[in-house]
Amino acid sequence: MILGAGAKRLAVFAYYDEDGVVDDYVIYLLAAVRKFCEKQIVVVNGTLTKKSEAAVREVCDEIISRDNSGFDITAYKEGFLSENAADYDEVLFYNQTVFGPVCPLDDMFEDMSARDVDFWGLTRHKGAKAASWDSKIPINPHVQSFFFAVRKPLLTDERFLSYWQNLPEIKTYWDAVGKHEINFTKHFSDYGFKWEVYIDTVPLEKYNDYPLMGMPTELLKEHGCPFFKRKSFICRRHEYTTFPQGQAAQRLYDYVRTCTDYPVALINENLTRTVTQGEISEALTLYFEPKPSEIAHSDTAVILWCKTSDMVTELSNAAAKQMNASVFCLCPNAEIVDEISAIMPQGTVFVVTNGAHGMQYLFKTLWRQLDGFKYILYLTNDIMTLLGEFYDATTLVAALEAIAVQNSSAMLDNREDIGVLLPVTVRHQECCTLQNQWKYVAPDIKAKLRAAEINVPFGEDKSGVASRAGMFLARREAISPLSSYAFESDDFDRLYSPCEYLAPLAAQSKGYLTAFACDTKTAFAQLANSDAIVEDALSMWATPSKMTYDRIHFRMQAILDFYYDRRYKMTLEQAFNAKLSFKEKLWIILQIILKPETFKKLHGDKKEQAPPPDDLD
pLDDT tens digits, 137-186 = 778 889 999 999 999 999 999 999 999 999 888 888 878 888 888 889 99
- Number of Cβ within 10 Å of residue 162's Cβ equals 10
Structural domain contains residue 573: yes
Mean pLDDT of 440-462: 88
> Which residues in 179-312 belong to E strands, given as ranges?
195-197, 228-229, 287-288, 300-305
Structural domain contains residue 116: yes
Mean pLDDT of 210-238: 91
How confident is the model at residue 106, as a pLDDT? Answer: 97
Residues 300 and 336 in one domain: yes
- Final residue in a domain of this structure, among 159, 185, 201: 201
Q: What is the DSSP letter of 168?
A: P
Residues 491 and 524 in one domain: yes
Structural domain contains residue 547: yes
The chain-wide mean pLDDT, for the chain, equals 85
Residues 89 and 122 in one domain: yes
Residues 385 and 472 in one domain: yes
How confident is the model at residue 599, as a pLDDT? Answer: 44
How confident is the model at residue 276, as a pLDDT? Answer: 92
- Choice between 419 and 167, residue whose per-residue pLDDT is larger: 419
- Choice between 388 and 116, residue whose per-residue pLDDT is larger: 116
How confident is the model at residue 603, as a pLDDT? Answer: 45
pLDDT at residue 597 greater than cutoff 70: no
- Choice between 527 and 220, residue whose per-residue pLDDT is larger: 220
Structural domain contains residue 211: no
Q: What is the DSSP letter of 293?
A: -
Closest C-alpha to 304, from 402, 391, 376: 376
Q: Are 185 and 140 in contact (CB under 8 A)?
A: yes
Residues 563 and 507 in one domain: no
Structural domain contains residue 393: yes
Structural domain contains residue 224: no
- Final residue in a domain of this structure, among 140, 171, 201: 201
Confidence of residue 614 (pLDDT cuts 50, 70, 90): very low
- Number of Cβ within 10 Å of residue 144's Cβ equals 20
Structural domain contains residue 219: no
Residues 157 and 114 in one domain: yes
Please give the tally of structural domains in the chain.
3
Q: Are 484 and 453 in contact (CB under 8 A)?
A: yes
- Final residue in a domain of this structure, among 485, 500, 530: 530
pTM assigned to the model? 0.84
How confident is the model at residue 461, as a pLDDT? Answer: 74
Mean pLDDT of 454-479: 89
Q: What is the pLDDT of residues 528-581, one digit of tens each?
A: 888 888 788 777 777 777 777 777 777 777 666 665 665 555 544 554 555 667
How confident is the model at residue 431, as a pLDDT? Answer: 66
The 3-state DSSP class for residue 263 equals: coil
Q: Determine the structural domain holding residue 496 and report its residue range.
A: 288-530
- Choice between 484 and 540, residue whose per-residue pLDDT is larger: 484
pLDDT at residue 429 greater than cutoff 80: no
Q: What is the pLDDT of residues 36-49, one digit of tens each?
A: 999 999 999 999 99
Spatial neighbors of 157 by CB under 8 A, at least 6 apart, are 191
Structural domain contains residue 330: yes
How confident is the model at residue 325, as a pLDDT? Answer: 85
* CATH code where residue 479 lies: 3.90.550
